[in-house]
Amino acid sequence: MPIATVDPATGETLETFEPLSAAEIQQRLAAAESAYAHHRTTGFAERARLLNRAADLLEEDAADIARTMTTEMGKPVKAARAEAAKCVKAMRWYAERAEGLLADEQPAQDDVSDSGASRAVVHYRPLGVVLAVMPWNFPLWQVVRFAAPALMAGNVALLKHASNVPRTALYLQDLFRRAGYPEGCFQTLLIGSGEVEDILRDRRVAAATLTGSEPAGRSVASVAGDEIKKTVLELGGSDPYLVLPSADVERAAATAVTARVQNNGQSCIAAKRFIVHADVYDAFRDRFVAGMRELTVGDPMDEDTDVGPLSSEQGRADLEELVEDALNRGATALCGGERPKELERGWFYSPTVLADVTPEMRIHREETFGPVATLYRVADLDEAVELANDTPFGLSSNVWTRDDADIARCVRDLQAGGVFFNGMTASHPGLPFGGIKRSGYGRELSGHGIREFCNATTVWYGAAE
């Protein structure tokens, strides 16, 4: 895949980039190794100063980088500005809290004495150079939510970004440079996916994190496993959205629209399968479909646009295949199910709700990366939970109910990295984020995220002679 900025609203190639040569890759690896030797010895105050400066610069640049993201991958520009603001928040959150999150731990005195020690302590130490393989759908946020904790822990970063967002990738490198980070602390590698394996196998790379597709995660995990290197994977999702009898149906339906089409429907944690109890099914369906029909699809630079284009022509083709397979096998399109006729240029797709979906359809098992929802009617909570878990993924889940028994059951039985009640799934710096099953492993954000790329070092002191 060429490294290029292609405007998904028009299909026009705006700029192409030459990938790094083998010699240039070696230079970047050497610079990262050298930077780590210094950065690991800095204190939290210095790291926080640098990260806060990066946050200040990003806040100043928000309008410009938002337009860059929109031009490269098509999200509405108002959503791109919100993404930049979220990154600023995460940077400042880690700058303020990293020292406390990585504070030395004192084991229980009984255990210390029983081990024969006079004292013992657990220190958190950085691992080294971390390779980040990142996706295009949140081209700023996905990187910052890794980089902020990694840099605060004393690691350094190599970014292999998606090939369709090179301008955003280069902006990130320049952002950290302007903030005052020493050369090599954060570097963007303009390379194809074929170069990832050799970089990951390089002795100077200690670990890797990947957000992306299941095949990409499998590939990186296989190489890292062969090299015995730590990885964190955040892969696909087919998140369920349960609406139960006691739900506020009007709020649930309005939120469902946003939960499905956020980021043009191209989000791992977007709700995708809407599982509704028979008692409230008709009321929810009517409101949900009406809300999806009312969305404005169009130019993502327009402030009034709700849904922009998909990120690529191939992405739209993949989505169309899933919808056509479902329709051919008996599904019903309650709205959408086609390209918007008024938008001849660009890779647009109409917000779509499919009912009468069955397990024989590909869309029942595969992730829909675009503004397409599947709608299911269930008879009771048992059926709702069974259907929610009937997926190879387990990233997050949403439940609408005011019944305490329903809440307890869903917390216990839903197979996901998160359960969000009476609201839509969202990531926040203070909450751990990640999945189970084929959605990956490990956690980002919060204290869990910053400790993923740390060595928990046990320091044991024997009794003095």
- Find the radius of gyration of the CA atoms of the chain: 23
* 3-state SS class at 20: coil
Instruction: Specify the DSSP element, H or E, that contains 275.
Output: strand 271-277
Token reading at 133:
């393989």
Q: Would you tell me how many other CB atoms lie within 10 Å of the CB of residue 311?
A: 27
Place of tokens 């200690």: 206
Cα distance between residue 195 and residue 191, in whole Å: 7
Q: What is the DSSP letter of 176?
A: H
Asked if 335 contacts 33 with a C-beta cutoff of 8 angstroms, the reply is no
Amino acid at 381: L
Q: Dihedral sign, CA of 377, 379, 381, 383?
A: negative
- CA distances 333 to 23, 260, 327, 389, Å, are 53, 16, 7, 24
Residues in the chain: 465
Catalytic residue among 268, 335, 410, 454: 268
Q: How far apart are CA 168 and CA 185, in angstroms?
A: 18
Pairing of strands 436-437, 420-421: unpaired
Q: How crowded is the C-beta side of 364, counted as CA atoms within 13 Å?
A: 15
Side chain identity, residue 86: K
Antiparallel, parallel or unpaired: β 186-188 and 205-211: unpaired
Residue 166: how many CA atoms within 13 Å on its side-chain side?
A: 21
DSSP code at position 370: S
Gap between the Cα atoms of 176 and 57, Å rounded:
9
Q: Residues with Cβ < 8 Å from 64, sequence gap 6 or more?
A: none
From 72, 83, 234, 444, active-site residue: 234
Q: How far is CA 186 from CA 32, 291, 363, in A?
A: 8, 43, 39
Active site residue 234: yes
Catalytic residues: 234, 268
